[in-house]
Chain A
Amino acid sequence: MTDAIDPRGPRFTATVTTVVFAAALLTPTPIATVLVAVQALCFAVGAGRGVQHTPTGWAFRRFVRPRLTPPAELEDARPPRFAQAVGLGFTVVALAGYLTGAVVVAQVAVGLALVAAVLNAAVGFCLGCEMYLLGLRIARPAR
């Protein structure tokens, strides 16, 4: 077992992510581009250094967790970190779309990322984690 984290941290992060993606879909392209770029940076930090090092991870520890009861159990930090990498994939596609004028492509990518984020925030479901096994089955050919 590597790092153990409060499972409510990633839920909090997913809630903020959901709001950012919703804002990106409801604002004109220049603002949406900036929002998605900032979100991509957060995902990059989360995937690269771990979810504890993202701005939302910090905000959760600093402002939210002190107000909550201690967690019933800790959770492995790897699944949410993997999910951040999946989120990064979607936001990079979206960012490329916004920057090249393919705005609808960008918005669909943001919409799909939002589905994953809102499911994580609302019911604790980790879409990226579930895709992992199917991805392996496809990526690694049968012997």
Chain B
Amino acid sequence: MRPDRSSLTGDVTTGTVILLAALLLAAGFALHRRRVDGRFAATGTDAEPGRTEPGRTEPARTEPAQATVWARVQDALPSAEPGERATLVQFSSAFCAPCRTTRVVLDEVARREDGVEHVEVDAEQHLDLVRALDVRRTPTTLILDAAGREIVRAAGAPQRHQVLAALPGASA
């Protein structure tokens, strides 16, 4: 600690600048997050070639066999059930309050919509799957089509209308 008076005022000036910068950074981040959170967008994990392992209820496909996202999920969670129309795959972790909101929203969509199932993956327990699908934060929700391919995904808690609009054959 320095007794020099001018150095002390200098520290306060620097501190003020850092305080303002921190507040601006926080505001910018909050606005950015409000825009992107829960927004579904296409990515394309399924473009990568992989192993041959179709899911149980997948319809026969004529294209060259690829490991769909569903096949990878089922590798990690053998008891998970896919939806006939769509599967909502949610990645969660214990340290994640918005994951609970997301669970409630996705559960409700799966209950109300025919052929839609909700599968929740504990990201901590399935880090290999998290890496393979490049999940970066929780909650992340992947929407898979009837064939188990990823159509879109959203990071952050989605709202019900966002999920409904992103479902395949959305209009119901």
Q: Report the contact-size class of chain A (Cβ under 8 Å from the partner).
A: 35 or more
A28/B11 in contact, CB under 8 A = yes
A110 to B34, CA, bound (A): 25
B 84-105 contacts with A by CB, 8 A: 93-97, 100
A45 to B33, CA, bound (A): 30
Q: Which residue of B lies closest to A142 (CB)?
A: B131
Q: Is the interface of A mostly helix, strand, loop or mixed?
A: helix
A114 to B128, CA, bound (A): 33
A75 to B131, CA, bound (A): 28
The one of B33, B95, B131 that contacts A125, using a Cβ cutoff of 8 Å: B33
Query: Which residues of the partner chain A approach B93 to less than 8 Å between Cβ atoms?
Result: 129, 132-133
Q: Which stretch, A47-55, A59-67, A99-107, touches the partner chain B?
A: A99-107
Given contacts A107-B14, A115-B22, A119-B30, contact A30 B97 (CB under 8 A): no
Quote the shortest CB–CB distance from A71 to chain B (angstroms).
13
A30 to B5, CA, bound (A): 12
Query: Which residues of the partner chain B approach A104 to less than 8 Å between Cβ atoms?
Result: 14
Query: Which residues of the partner chain B approach A33 to less than 8 Å between Cβ atoms?
Result: 1
CB of B123 within 8 Å of the partner chain: yes
The one of B19, B30, B123, B136 that contacts A26, using a Cβ cutoff of 8 Å: B19
B128/A126 in contact, CB under 8 A = no
Query: Which residues of the partner chain B approach A118 to less than 8 Å between Cβ atoms?
Result: 22-23, 26
The one of B2, B29, B135, B137 that contacts A115, using a Cβ cutoff of 8 Å: B29
Taking Cβ atoms with an 8 Å cutoff, the residues of A that contact B are: 7, 22, 24-30, 32-33, 75-76, 78-79, 82, 98, 101, 103-104, 107-108, 110-112, 114-115, 118-119, 122-126, 128-130, 132-134, 136-137, 140, 142-143
A135 to B97, CA, bound (A): 18
Query: Which residues of the partner chain B approach A115 to less than 8 Å between Cβ atoms?
Result: 22, 25-26, 29
CB of B80 within 8 Å of the partner chain: no
Query: Which residues of the partner chain B approach A82 to less than 8 Å between Cβ atoms?
Result: 95
A115 to B26, CA, bound (A): 5
Quote the shortest CB–CB distance from B154 to chain A (angstroms).
15
B1/A29 in contact, CB under 8 A = yes
B94/A76 in contact, CB under 8 A = yes
The one of B22, B127, B128 that contacts A111, using a Cβ cutoff of 8 Å: B22
Could you list 17 further interchain pairs (A-B, Cβ under 8 angstroms) beyond the known A114-B26, A125-B30?
A24-B15, A27-B12, A28-B9, A29-B1, A32-B15, A33-B1, A78-B94, A79-B97, A101-B2, A107-B15, A110-B18, A124-B97, A125-B33, A129-B95, A133-B93, A133-B137, A142-B128
